[in-house]
Structure 1
Amino acid sequence: MPRPDANSHIREAAESLLSTVSNPNYRTISHSQSVNIVSEELVAGHRPQGRMSTVRRFFCLFVTFDLLFTGLMWLICVMMRGETLEQIFDREIVHYNVKTSLFDVVLLAITRFTTLLLFYALLYINNWSVIALSTGGTCAFLMAKVFVFDWPNAAQPVYQVFLILTSFTISWSEAWFLDFRVLPQELQAKEILECITSHGNAVTCERTPLISAHRTAPHSTFGESTVNWFSPVDTPEASPRPKRPGETVILTQDQIEEYISQAEESLTNSWRVINMENWHLEKRGQHGDVVESKKTEFGKVYRFTGVVECPPQFLFKEFRDNLQRLPEWNPTILKSEMIKEIAPGIDLSYQVTAGGGGGIIAPRDFIILRRTAALSRDGLVVEDETPYAYISSGKSVQVPGYPPCPKMVR
């Protein structure tokens, strides 16, 4: 069960544990003990499987909007004269004059579109220099355009002024969005993933030999020691050193029994809290989703109820057996891996979630002791008979080989 942080209610709401309860009438009801308010803005910087991040894709879409909107405004300006398309093409493009034509503003938008998509979409650079040159060049040209344009003879000066101001504003918006949204969010997501990757690697400086094995001293028989030297004894598994890749976590019998006891306790508490009465309504969605809250001995607990059109047994098995696939459909989870199965329906897993709230909520990782089971109406675990509900409860624990990461909140 999640415990509240006395220093921050935001942290209490962010540290959510997923708990699923379903009814066997092919309508599944999900209950979450707390609300995950992870910000989508920070998750948008993540590049799943090396693809373009969501925030950069939005930037490319905005650059495309810049081109289309500028072209539309130019068409409105020239069509207000009442000329045909042939006359407009001849006057604005074929016989272009910087003092009377505004087609150069469209060419400027085309140049920005081509340059920005080339460097930030195809080449995928992470530097602000290109957008700085693009915005600076746009502003310089538009300011010069204002001085040389023949305003007294302009047919509709209001639309033409609006076209120039629009191009000026959008170019600065692109620079601001890239420098203050795209690059920082991608950098933060990269740091989080690097921390996750390095978390499982062994940091074994104390085991690194002081003299490299590839460098051998010249053979000498003078002053050789007759003492037999031995390497230090291996660090026991209970010490908080990082787990090596592919290494199995070894637990003692006492640890296994303690984990089983905690898992059964979390299942009992989860089932009891879920079935409490007098929940306070927090929010109701358009599709019947309901978020409720209640103060319990564990602190303030949130319960989410929704309907999923699929067999409850299928959904239960998806949660139970495909833990590693959580990041594929839940964008707030950056990593999910199975650590060890303790007993039937009891396992240990490691998950990492992104930060949120503009930096208020730091990225965090969890070591979750999970208990999954099918229950009867009285909340007893059943195996053979038709269950009344399925449940997945979780509790934060400590596991050897998974020490806290400095860049995340455990």
Structure 2
Amino acid sequence: MTGAVAGRALRDPFAVRAQHLNGSSLAELFVLARERSAIDLAVGTPGFPVTPPRLIEGAVEALRSGRNQYEAAHGEAMLRRQIADSFSTPADPDTDITVTVGGTEALCAAVLASVDPGDEVVILEPFYENFVNAIALAGGVPRVVSLRAPHWRLDAAELAEAFGPRTRALIVNSPSNPTGRMLTLEELDEIARLCERWDVTVISDEVYAGLVFDGRNHLSVMDVPGLRDRSIVIGSLSKSLAVSGWRLGYLRAEARRTDVLRRVHEVTSNGAAAPLQFAAGHAGLVAGERWRPAIDLAARRDVAQQIFGDLGFTFQPAEGGCFLLADISAVTAADCRDYVRRLLEESAVLVVPATPFFADPERGSRYVRIAFNRTLDTLRAAERNLSR
């Protein structure tokens, strides 16, 4: 008998929250890009900076010296100390820092530790699309607050309307993927006021904290007194050290929250790769002044802005991160998904349609995301293709 047992229809074998997860919206485009040997300005995988040689040498040494078994689940001691020392507001490496399997696991652990099924989670739009997936995985309900284009500013009244008795968490991202914007102290103070009123946890994605431009200083939620004890910071070494394949991220929170985060982390992964943690911790590049790629990355941002600005794209200059969110309204009347495909077919350059960054795809239909963490040669090659 097919589809039924003793006259009874079989149940759907999948959890509802799993069915609501979104897969990659770019899979088909990546296939076409490979077929055309296209220049990839889509994904954030770093073409620049180049992975520091001392990191690679440190990983090889760690492997050969026998560091091939389990590390402490919450992370190798030197790496935690380096991460703690990288913050402007002090952190205790023993009680506040947990090394994770990339920023993605850190995000999922933070949401799973903070959100029960049915709880509401406020997110700011446009958003990194995995925020929605992490909320769905926990059984939470997203409440979307749209930032005001073209400057992508937060409206305090609209944010306040999104909070209520069921609000359990707020996810922020500064610098932002995809806009490159950084939240201001005024905006963070307003967030602190609302979170205190409704007793809400702030989950702050700060993976681009080391990549801020034009003399700015990164402002963490941990630098805001009203947020320090109710926040969880997500960090990553993927972009800043150009080791996205190493999957090294971290969580920062006060000790009581860290205790719960570490239990979730142990259940989900039981720890990141030991030799890679050792290499990153002992290379001395996570904290201090020895490794500052932001200045050279800002030059790539400027080149990308010049290339696409000359084509008629409009955007706010990225304050940090590695992406531009560009309005294509002056270039084409087409939907961004159609335009991206046409650009790929005619110029062999791949950018990202921005619809996945919006709860309503129509709101993102006039935008594309452009990754500029590339070599200058790659950006200039894209310019030549586009000029044709």
| TM-score under structure 1 length normalisation | 0.21
Instruction: Point out the structure with max Rg over C-alpha.
Output: 1
| TM-score under structure 2 length normalisation | 0.22
